Structures are given as structure tokens and as C-alpha cells.
Amino acid sequence: MLQDYHAVLVFLITGVAMVCTPLILGLLFRPKNDYAEKTMPYECGEDPIGDAQIRFDMRFYTTALIFIIFEVEIAFMFPWAHVFNSAPDKLFALGAGLIFIFIVFLGLIVDWAKGDLDWVKTFDTNKRRVQD
């Protein structure tokens, strides 16, 4: 039974050796000249200003989430294209794909109407309700 897993064991040992050997060689042969500028965070050639632990604006997260939604939509279009290519009823497959695209486009319109795609948001004080 152990002979059946011989190839797996050789593959595992080779993989571990290919990962560990460069790390050990780099540890042994790299120069060890630490100085303050070398250990400082690097940002486009500029010295860092302020603390690295800052709060990002919510617009970054909203933009990233909208990007991920449309990226996943494109990932769902690839299997649909494969099914469309081999579907016996191409008109039905086309209709299903167009409905999916319409729903995603409707989501884009809703995001646009809510102002999530506006990078600079304006706050109109006249639209606020005054509560007594």
C-alpha cells in the first residue's frame, strides 16, 4: 500500500525542497546591513507622513464592492456563453442571458441613482427633514 503513494511522497518532498532551499540560501548569503532608511516603509520614493493606521473614506469600500459585483457578473457570463454555444434552443438561452444582463444593468442604475458612483458627494441641507 505504501508503494502506491510513492509518487505523492516524492512530489511532496520535491515541493518542500523547492520552497525551503531558496529561503535558506537567502538567509545564509544575503548581506546583513540593517540601517534606519532600509527598514522604513517605502511609498513611491516619498518619506511617509503620519500614521499608517488611518481610517479610509467609505467611498473606497463602496467602489470596491461595486467593482466586485460587476466582476462576478462577468465571471457568470463565461459559463453562460459556453451553454449558449451548445444549447439546442438558442433563443431561450439568449433570453436568459439578456434577462441576467438587464438585472445587473438595473443594479447599476440603482447604484447611480443613489449616488454611490459619485466620487465627490454633495450634501444638500435643504433635503434634510427637520424633526421637532
98-127: per-residue pLDDT in tens? Answer: 998 999 889 888 888 887 777 666 555 555
Q: How much is the pLDDT for 127? A: 52
16-68: per-residue pLDDT in tens? Answer: 999 999 999 999 998 887 777 776 666 666 666 777 677 777 777 877 888 88
Q: Where are the domains of the chain?
A: 2-39, 58-120
CA distance 110 to 117: 10
What pTM did the predictor assign? Answer: 0.46
Of residues 53 and 93, more confidently modeled: 93
Q: Confidence class of residue 132 from pLDDT cuts 50, 70 and 90?
A: very low
Of residues 129 and 110, more confidently modeled: 110
Q: How much is the pLDDT for 104? A: 87
CA distance 3 to 10: 11
Q: Looking at the predicted structure, is the pLDDT value of residue 73 above 90?
A: no
Q: How much is the pLDDT for 10? A: 92
Classified as helix, coil or strand, 32 is coil
CA distance 108 to 116: 10
Which of 117, 104, 110, 109 is closest to 73 using CA atoms? 104
Of residues 2 and 32, more confidently modeled: 32
CA distance 56 to 62: 11
